[in-house]
Every structure is written in structure tokens, then in C-alpha cells.
A and B are shown apart, each in its own frame.
Chain A
Amino acid sequence: MSDPTAQPSLPFDEVTDGAYAQTFLATHTAAENRRGVDLRGRCPRCGDPMDFPIVTEIFQSTVAPGHSADRNSPDEKTVLCTCQADHPDKPAGEKGCGAYWNIRLTRRRT
């Protein structure tokens, strides 16, 4: 039997908003490791808890030399909602509610 007080889950939608990053950063924690930074917080759209790993390198062959056009700033990373909630209309192979936003990481020397 379903919980009558439960909020209906937002449908999946690939959407971004200028306030998403700020909302996420209000709830986030960041843990550095050998490969990058693990972010943990709440999705600014659906409010569900989520984790997002940011890595500096990945095990994969590189693309052809010179293929560097239209690349993000190296400090800017795109974060996706990766919550485990079951959002309606979620396509196969997708995670989260579809929200995405950009954050900027700056390494500070200690």
C-alpha cells in the first residue's frame, strides 16, 4: 500500500537552471581522493540524495591529437543528478531525474 503523504516523484527531464549549482552547493560535501573529488549532496531539482565522482583521468584510449575544440574549461565540471529514485519517464540507461548543472573547482594550495 502506498504512502498517502509521499510527494509524487518528478518525471525525468533533461533540464538545467541557473540556480541548480548554488542549491546543490548548499547541501554538498566533497571528499578528495587519489583520482579526484567525490561529491555528495542533494539534487537541486528532485531533492533526492546523490553522489557524483569527479575524476581527473580515466582508463581509455585518447582521441586523435588536435581533437580539442569546444572543450570545457579544465576547472569546470558538469554534474548530473544520479539519485536512485524512480522517476517516471526515465529512459533506459539513464540515472537520476535528468537535472544537470556546472560547477567550478579550484585547487587551493595548503
Chain B
Amino acid sequence: MVDIAPGSPAQPSQRRAAKATLELLADELPRVRTSALAWRNGLGALLAGLIGFGLVKGRSDVTQLAPDAAVGVGVLLILALLAGSGAAVLLMRAAHGRPRSSTVEDVIDPSAQDPTLAARLAEAGASAQSLRWGVRLFFVCAALLCGAVAVTWYGPEKDKPRIEVRLATGTVYCGEVVSTAAGKLTLKTPQGQTVVDLTQADGLRAVDSCSTAPPP
């Protein structure tokens, strides 16, 4: 609720300010539309640049990532898609209005001196709000996309297949295969490269991870 009472004596400068406010309100909707169009075009170009930059260099295949990092990239991309879709809808709503018509009673006030004034002011306010949130959501989308690209580039690499070799003596070697030559298998273990004589092997199997510590 608003209480309205007489104010202090008005000054000519206050009249000028009030007149300027009315003039700004009169062309507010076209200004919002023009601004929204410019923002939409500018942000679209920025997004195109971001995507182009992401394709230029760095790892681009999430299948090369460790499972946790790949899931993280997927989540970031879904959130970016949601934010980007919301931003696009809001920016288009600000630039072009709602994609539907309104009833005449909702637009025209026959009792008002300017029958469309209230509807124009409401549309300008709603469009300005859509523009504000559209721009915010766009930058959220851009940040999420950059995060997804960063994780894809710099995230941990998926583990390579490992081999576990069990010798007749009971000793177990485990690590990534580096090379095989002349009956010798070279494995990369956390302790460094180890050469295993395959003629002494009693068993050989592929494993996802080395659970047993390699021999000293």
C-alpha cells in the first residue's frame, strides 16, 4: 500500500526532471528492444568465438578422460546447455516480445487518457528484466563451457590398460606395457620401468589397476 500526501512546493527544475522522466518512459520499449538486439548479436558472436577457441587446441575427446572427470564434463555441459537455452529464450523475449498475442482487455485500458500506456510500461519493464537475466545467464553458460573445456584439456587422463605378470617364484609385477622384445617385457610401474623375463612367467593377465605392490 502507498500513502500519498502533498509534498513540498515544486520547483521548475523538478518539473524539467519529471518531464524528462516521462520522455524516457515514452520511448523506453524501443530502447529496450534495440539494446536487446545488440546484446543478442554481441553475445552470440562471443559464444561463437569461445566455441571456436575450444576447438583449436587441447584435448577434445572426453573418452580420453578419467571417468570422474568425464562425468564432471558431462554435468558442466548439461548445466551450460540449460543456462544457454535460458539465456537465448530471455534475450529473444527481450528483443522481440512474447511469442503470443494478448487479449485486448489486457492491453487497452479504455478509462485511461493514454489507453496503451500501462501495457507499454509493463512490457518495457518485463523486457528489461528479461534482458538483464538473459545476459547474466549467458555469462553463466560461458563460464560453464569454459569450465568443461578446461577439465577436458587439463583433467586427469584415463588409466591405460595394465598387465600383471606372475613369475614361477611367486613374484608379481604389474604396470603399463612399454615394450616387448626378445622375450622381455618392459613395464612402467610407479617405481619406474621394470624388465620382466617372460620365460619365467607363470601367469599373465590384464587388470584395471595394480592392487599388489610391485617387488622391490
Contact B4 A51 (CB under 8 A): no
Complex contact B15–A100 (CB within 8 A) = yes
Interface residues of A (CB under 8 A from B): 14, 16, 18, 21-22, 25, 28, 30, 32-35, 37-40, 49-51, 53, 55, 58-60, 70, 72, 76-80, 82-84, 94-95, 100-108, 110
Of the candidates B3, B6, B24, B125, the one whose C-beta lies within 8 Å of that of A35 is B125
B1 at the interface (CB under 8 A from A): yes
A53 x B6 contact (CB < 8 A) = no
Residue B69 CB within 8 A of the other chain: no
A-B contact count (CB 8 A): 118
Most buried by A among B24, B112, B113, B121: B113
B35 to chain A, nearest CB (A): 8
Q: Which of B46-89 contact A (CB under 8 A)?
A: none
Provide 7 A-B residue pairs closer than 8 Å at the C-beta atoms, listed in order of the A residue. Answer: A25-B4, A53-B25, A55-B121, A80-B18, A82-B22, A100-B10, A107-B3
Tell me the bound Cα distance from A38 to B115 in angstroms.
13
Which residues of B, 83-127, contact A by the 8 Å Cβ criterion?
Answer: 111-114, 117-118, 121-122, 124-125
What residues of chain A lie closer than 8 Å to B2, measured between beta carbons? 30, 32, 37, 105-108
Is B28 engaged at the interface, CB distance under 8 Å to the other chain? yes
Picked from B4, B24, B31, the residue with its CB within 8 Å of the CB of A30 is B4
Nearest CB of A to B130, in Å: 12
B22-A84 in contact (CB<8A): no
Which A residues touch B9, using CB under 8 A? 16, 18, 102
Chain B 1-38 against A: per-residue CB contact (8 Å), 1 yes, 0 no?
11111111110111101110110110010011001000
With a cutoff of 8 Å between Cβ atoms, the chain A residues found around residue B125 in the complex are 34-35
Q: Is the interface of A mostly helix, strand, loop or mixed?
A: strand
Is A100 touching B122 in the complex (CB atoms < 8 A)? no
- B118-142: CB near A (< 8 Å → 1, else 0) gives 1001101100100000000000000
Q: Select from chain B the residue with minimum beta-carbon distance to A107.
A: B2
Contact A102 B112 (CB under 8 A): no
- CA A106 – CA B9 in complex, angstroms? 18
Given contacts A78-B17, A79-B18, A101-B10, A58 and B5 within 8 Å (CB-CB): no
On whether the beta carbons of A103 and B7 are closer than 8 Å, the reply is: yes
Closest to B28 in A: A59
Distance in Å: Cβ of B10 to nearest Cβ of chain A: 4
Q: Is B22 a contact of A38 with CB atoms below 8 Å?
A: no
Residue of B with least CB distance to A76: B7
A-B contact sample (15 more), CB < 8 A, given A82-B113, A100-B10: A16-B10, A30-B2, A33-B118, A40-B111, A59-B32, A59-B35, A60-B24, A78-B15, A80-B15, A80-B22, A101-B6, A102-B6, A102-B7, A107-B1, A108-B2
